[in-house]
Amino acid sequence: MDHALFQYLLRLGDSTLVLSQRLSEWTGHGPALEEDLALTNTALDLLGQARMWLTLAGEVEGLSRDEDQLAYLRDAPDYRNYLLVERGNGDYGHTMLRQFFFDSWHYFLLQRLSLSPDARIADIAAKALKEVTYHARRSADIVVRLGDGTAESHQRMQSALDDLWRYTGELFVDDSIHTALAQRGVITLHETLEQDWLTHVQAVLKEATLNLPAIEDARHSAYQGGMAGRHTEALGYLLAEMQHLQRSYPGASW
Amino acid sequence: MDKTEWPLWEVFIRSQHGLAHKHVGSLRASDAEMAINNARDVYTRRNEGVSIWVVKSGDIVASVPGDKEALFDAARSKVYRHPTFFPMPDEVKHM
């Protein structure tokens, strides 16, 4: 088994799956009908991407685990998603800021992955990139509207920013799995995405009249570890809800 | 949600093989850009190759139902105004 590739695919699959699960929690609770639908569409896009990544991960692993087994029968320490996506939704601004950070990173990452010499990765990335281009445009738009909105929406966005910022550093950390894959040319190191991401994020937050916390605040190792299976307390609850039926009726077909 | 800040917009969409924009419904949005974004999510499910028009409902002027007879009934008996008596060659589509 290609261990590094399997782990990397889990990182992509789990991050899109967990974020999709978070966004689905908004169904019927959005601030307006139109926002509700838009968020649900994004959740569905991400779920579709998670299915493709996890199916490929299962193939690479070679133990005939399919997308469902990977999604429903792994517990939190076996999940490899980034910490950012498992954080609770908070208010709508908090959700959209988390989305903005992730979408911007996702966009630059998928751009690189769509050029991967591994055709399986390139194909999924190219398909996902079309969806994520739209997600990124929309979340940036909302962040500006809320940041540069009323006094209350501005203050809420600033506190969301102060809360979520520390989880963004992990998106650019490269460990031995990334370096192994990068050496083979399958992926580019995530640190190479950081400058593009930062330039974009700074520009949008400036337009939103929000103050970016210090870059170093996103570097603390206490806020990293998701991609190695060390999660915040939030993921266990999320998985308990998501996996409940499969755990109660294992092996049932739906 | 303050409805004065989220006015109603009418949405017209030309589908991939469609010839003209068709009215598909309405939605609320705070400005035109948001209306386009929302129209994509609500009415097209983001199919490719479509064109969307949005227009504020307040900017549309409709004919008055009471004027129906004066506007439309007079033409009803004048079939010769319609080019329905010419055989159309198959090559000419969508007349």
* pLDDT 10s digits, A62-79: 999 999 999 999 999 999
Residue range A201-211: mean pLDDT, rounded: 98
Quick: pLDDT tens for A14-54: 999 999 999 999 999 999 999 999 999 999 999 999 999 99
Identify the pLDDT of residue B92. Answer: 76
The helix (run of H) or strand (run of E) holding residue A248 is: helix A234-248
Q: Tell me, what amino acid is at A230?
A: R
Q: Which of A32, A41, A131 sits opposite B6 (nearest CB)?
A: A32
pLDDT at B35 over 60: yes
d(CA B95, CA B93): 6
Q: Which of A34, A41, A141 sits opposite B27 (nearest CB)?
A: A34
- Residue indicated by tokens 């990124």: A136
d(CA A207, CA A140): 10
Identify the pLDDT of residue B95. Answer: 59
Residue range A121-148: mean pLDDT, rounded: 97
**Residue A91: helix, strand or coil by DSSP?**
coil
Counted residue by residue, chain A has a size of: 254
Identify the pLDDT of residue B2. Answer: 57
Q: Which residue has the higher pLDDT, B17 or B29?
A: B29
Residues A219/A169, Cβ–Cβ less than 8 Å: yes
Residues A46/A16, Cβ–Cβ less than 8 Å: yes
Half-sphere exposure of residue A36, counting CA atoms within 13 Å on the CB side? 10
Residue range A153-177: mean pLDDT, rounded: 97
CA distance B45 to chain A (A): 8
Q: What percentage of chain B has pLDDT greater than the value 90?
A: 40
Residues of A in contact with B49 (CB under 8 A): none
Q: Which residues have CB under 8 Å from B5's CB, separation 6+?
A: B30
The CB density around residue A183, as the number of other CB atoms within 10 Å, is: 11
Instruction: Spell A12-22 as b/e; 16+ CB within 10 A means b.
Output: bbbbbbbbbbb
pLDDT at B4 over 70: no
Cα–Cα–Cα angle for A107, A169, A186, rounded to 5 degrees:
50
Residue range B44-68: mean pLDDT, rounded: 85
pLDDT at B72 over 80: no
Instruction: Spell A67-77 as b/e; 16+ CB within 10 A means b.
Output: beebbeebebe
What is the separation of C-alpha B75 from the centre of its chain, rounded to a whole number of angstroms? 23
Instruction: Kindly list the residues of chain B whose beta carbon comes within 8 Å of any beta carbon in chain A.
Output: 1, 6, 27-30, 33-34, 37-38, 40-42, 45-46
Quick: pLDDT tens for A51-64: 999 999 999 999 99
Number of inter-chain CB pairs under 8 A, A vs B: 33
pLDDT at A196 over 60: yes
Are the beta carbons of A31 and B1 separated by less than 8 Å? Answer: yes
Identify the pLDDT of residue B94. Answer: 66
pLDDT at B1 over 60: no
Q: Which residues have CB under 8 Å from A20's CB, separation 6+?
A: A43, A44, A46, A47, A50
Residues A239/A76, Cβ–Cβ less than 8 Å: yes
What is the separation of C-alpha A134 from the centre of its chain, rounded to a whole number of angstroms? 15
Residue B10 φ/ψ, nearest 5 degrees: -95, 140
Residues A105/A119, Cβ–Cβ less than 8 Å: no
Quick: pLDDT tens for A77-86: 999 999 999 9
Split at pLDDT 50, 70, 90, the class of A207 is very high
Identify the pLDDT of residue B49. Answer: 67
Instruction: Copy the structure tokens of residue A215.
Output: 């870059």
- Which of A172-186, A212-226, B66-80 is the least confident region? B66-80
| Ramachandran category for residue A125: left, alpha or beta (phi over 0 → left; psi -120 to 50 → alpha) | alpha
Instruction: Copy the structure tokens of residue A84.
Output: 């950012």
Average model confidence (pLDDT) across chain A: 97
Residue range B66-94: mean pLDDT, rounded: 76
A-interface mutation test, from B38, B45, B47, most A Cβ less than 10 A away = B38
> Which among A102-111, A242-251, B11-20, B29-38 has the top mean pLDDT?
A102-111
ipTM of the complex, rounded to two decimals: 0.73
Which DSSP letter does residue B84 get?
-
CA end-to-end distance (rounded Å), chain A: 30
